[in-house]
Structure 1
Amino acid sequence: MITPAAIVSGAATAALGILSVALCATVWRVVMGPSLPDRILALDMLTGIAIGFIAVVAVRTGFSLYIDIAISLGLVGFLATVAFARFVLSRGAVGEAEPETRRRSE
């Protein structure tokens, strides 16, 4: 008979494998992303994957402080994404068409 601890251990191992594959794919997108917004989105995804890793480690070890660390990382990751988005807005998106008001005045 399979014990609940064995099920949790197997699920944690599977989750770590899936998160590892997601991490590799996301790092590929950060390095090879065709545009800055793609890279920013991939960095946000890296934050989510890191939170997933921390959550799995918290479940495996039973150390509840990791949950607080994951929550803090989520907040910092959100603020970083907002800062990157504001940077892209102030810089202007690559390939963005001119607004209609500019075209009419010319």
Structure 2
Amino acid sequence: MAIVGQPVFAGVYLTGDFDSLRRHAVGADVVTSIGYLQAIVAIIVWVRLRQAWPFLATMAVVEAETVQYFAGLDGALWLHIPLGVMTVAALVVQFIAVWRRPLQRSTRAQGEGLDA
């Protein structure tokens, strides 16, 4: 959960450690890249397990991350900071949802003989 480090880097930057802004920028690249990889995995889950909700939830988070990324580049902190808080919260909730109830093949997919 690389996204959890982002508020830390931003907070350290706001206390006067200006090198943390570079760490925050690198972290943004890492988090965004992981989000796009997660979208690919969510597509595979959708196709293989016939579960659409992980894809839909992932795309909502990836869209928020992308908007937040560009808001940060533009210095629009009025959008960047609250969207960052919401994105971290959404990813934590998504992680807990998958952890507590692992994804399983839907009964419809099992009935169609898609046990690949």
**Rg larger for:** 1
Q: Tell me the TM-score normalised to structure 2 length.
A: 0.43
Q: Tell me the TM-score normalised to structure 1 length.
A: 0.46
